[in-house]
Amino acid sequence: MYEYRKLSPEEKAEVVRQRLAKGYPPHSPPHPIKDASHYLITAACYEHKHRITTPQRRQQLLNQLFETFIQENITILAWVVLTNHYHLLTKTVDFRWLSKQLRLIHGRTAHQWNKEDGLTGKMWYSYSDRAIRSEKHYYTTLNYIHYNPVKHHLVSSPYDWQESSIDWYLQEKGRNWLRACWLEYPVKDYGQEWDN
């Protein structure tokens, strides 16, 4: 998105032409796989501005995600909410429900937080999804989600970030399971191209 702004009008037109030729929307993330059962969902604040800076906002967002998703029979398997984006590992039956619910949640939170902050305008930059294609992809994604607060220099240990599913996994699976999962499915450069 940010590289696009640096392009000439001709280069921008060519990028849009190529996206449309692939069947993608001109300016938002494509959602090409709609029949997989597990997804990594990533949503970022517009221009990666830090708008989810308080624990209360992060918890409010998590509460809305869980309440809404439970009603729609969408399971959140892992999560992390940072100060300017969040990641969810979900299991869903109907992708259209997921898309609709995220738009509703983003609309509600944007309206409320803009009002609280005395701001107007866009708060969220849509969302992206990645279909989970294998067991290795699933567990590497799980580790990536839990390590994300460390990657973004918010804490030195994933166990120190409250708005994450790592504590749930620690209670349900134990530290040895988490350690074995980390060793068997290392993150390495996962997310390097799309989560910087």
- What is the span of the domain harbouring residue 1? 1-30
Tell me which residue has tokens 């449309």: 20
Mark whether 67 and 156 lie in a shared domain: yes
In a domain, 190, yes or no: no
Q: How confident is the model at residue 167 (pLDDT cuts 50, 70, 90)?
A: very high
Mark whether 20 and 43 lie in a shared domain: no
**Does pLDDT of 117 surpass 70?**
yes
Whole-angstrom distance, CA of residue 112 vs CA of residue 127: 19
In a domain, 189, yes or no: no
In a domain, 176, yes or no: yes
Mark whether 2 and 71 lie in a shared domain: no
Tell me which residue has tokens 């220099």: 153
**Does pLDDT of 27 surpass 70?**
no
In a domain, 6, yes or no: yes
Mark whether 58 and 138 lie in a shared domain: yes
In a domain, 195, yes or no: no
The total of structural domains in the chain comes to 2
Pick the more confident residue, 62 or 191.
62
Mark whether 6 and 67 lie in a shared domain: no
β strands within 11-55, DSSP E: 38-45
Whole-angstrom distance, CA of residue 125 vs CA of residue 45: 6
Whole-angstrom distance, CA of residue 183 vs CA of residue 56: 33
Mark whether 21 and 52 lie in a shared domain: no
Mark whether 87 and 21 lie in a shared domain: no
Mark whether 53 and 96 lie in a shared domain: yes
**Does pLDDT of 2 surpass 90?**
no
177: which 2 tokens?
């399971």
Mark whether 130 and 36 lie in a shared domain: yes
In a domain, 108, yes or no: yes
Mark whether 42 and 111 lie in a shared domain: yes
Q: 14-28, 40-54, 89-103 — which one is most confidently predicted on average?
A: 40-54
State the average pLDDT for the chain.
87
120: which 2 tokens?
């107007």
Mark whether 37 and 13 lie in a shared domain: no
CATH number at residue 150: 3.30.70.1290
Mean pLDDT of 127-148: 93
Whole-angstrom distance, CA of residue 56 vs CA of residue 162: 11
> What pLDDT sits at residue 191?
67
Mark whether 35 and 4 lie in a shared domain: no
pTM: 0.80
In a domain, 193, yes or no: no
In a domain, 196, yes or no: no
